[in-house]
Structure 1
Amino acid sequence: MSVAQAVQASPFAMPRHVAIIMDGNGRWAKKRLLPRAAGHKAGVEAVRRVTRHARVIGLEALTIYAFSSENWRRPEQEIGDLMGLLRLFIRSDLAELVRENVRLKIIGDYGRFPSDVVALIDDAVRRCAANTGPILAIALNYGAQAELVHAARRLAERLPPEQIDAAAIEGELETRDMPPLDLLIRTSGEHRLSNFLLWQAAYAELLFVDTLWPDFGPADLDQAIAAFGSRNRRFGGL
Structure 2
Amino acid sequence: MHLGLIMDGNGRWAKQRSLPRAAGHLEGLKTCKRIVVAAIKLKIDVLTLYVFSTENWKRPSQEVNYLMGLMAKKLPGEMKFYKENGIRILFRGDISALPEEARAGVSKTVEETKDGDKITVVLAINYGGQDEIARACNRFIANNPGKAITVEDIQRNLDVPEIPAPDLIARSAGEMRLSNFMLWDSAYAEFLSIDDLWPDWGEEQLKLCLDALSKRVRKFGGLVTEQPKEQTQTK
2:90 to 96, 105, 116: 105
Rounded Cα–Cα distance in structure 2 between residues aligned with 1:36 and 1:79: 11
1:27 to 12, 16, 32: 12
1:153 to 138, 148, 159: 138
Deviation readout 1:216-235 (Å, 9 max, x if unpaired): 11100111111111111011
The 3-state SS of whatever aligns with 1:18 is strand
Taking structure 1 as the reference length, the TM-score comes to 0.88
Rounded Cα–Cα distance in structure 2 between residues aligned with 1:167 and 1:95: 38
- Equivalent position amino acid for 1:166 in 2: V
After TM superposition, list the pairs within 5 Å mapping 1:41-80 onto structure 2: 41-80=26-65
Which residue does 2:191 correspond to in 1? 206
Higher relative contact order (CA 8 A, sep 6+): 1
C-alpha RMSD of matched pairs (Å):
1.5
Rounded Cα–Cα distance in structure 1 between residues aligned with 2:16 and 2:201: 16
- Equivalent position amino acid for 2:189 in 1: A
Cα contact 2:71–2:105 (8 A) shared by 1: no
Deviation readout 1:46-75 (Å, 9 max, x if unpaired): 111101111111111000000111111111
In the alignment, structure 1 residue 120 sits paired with structure 2 residue 108: no
Rounded Cα–Cα distance in structure 1 between residues aligned with 2:10 and 2:209: 20
Rounded Cα–Cα distance in structure 1 between residues aligned with 2:31 and 2:153: 36
Which residue does 1:130 correspond to in 2? 115
Taking structure 2 as the reference length, the TM-score comes to 0.89
Identify if the C-alpha distance between structure 1 residues 156 and 91 changes in structure 2 by more than 3 Å, giving closer, same or farther.
closer
Identify if the C-alpha distance between structure 1 residues 153 and 114 changes in structure 2 by more than 3 Å, giving closer, same or farther.
closer
Rounded Cα–Cα distance in structure 1 between residues aligned with 2:134 and 2:72: 29
Structure 2 gap segments, 5+ residues each: 224-235
Rounded Cα–Cα distance in structure 1 between residues aligned with 2:159 and 2:73: 25
> How far did residue 18 of structure 1 move?
0.4
Rounded Cα–Cα distance in structure 2 between residues aligned with 1:224 and 1:101: 23
Query: How many pairs align?
Result: 222
Which residue does 1:231 correspond to in 2? 216
Rounded Cα–Cα distance in structure 2 between residues aligned with 1:133 and 1:52: 10
Which residue does 2:171 correspond to in 1? 186
> How far did residue 156 of structure 1 move?
2.7
Structure 1 gap segments, 5+ residues each: 1-15
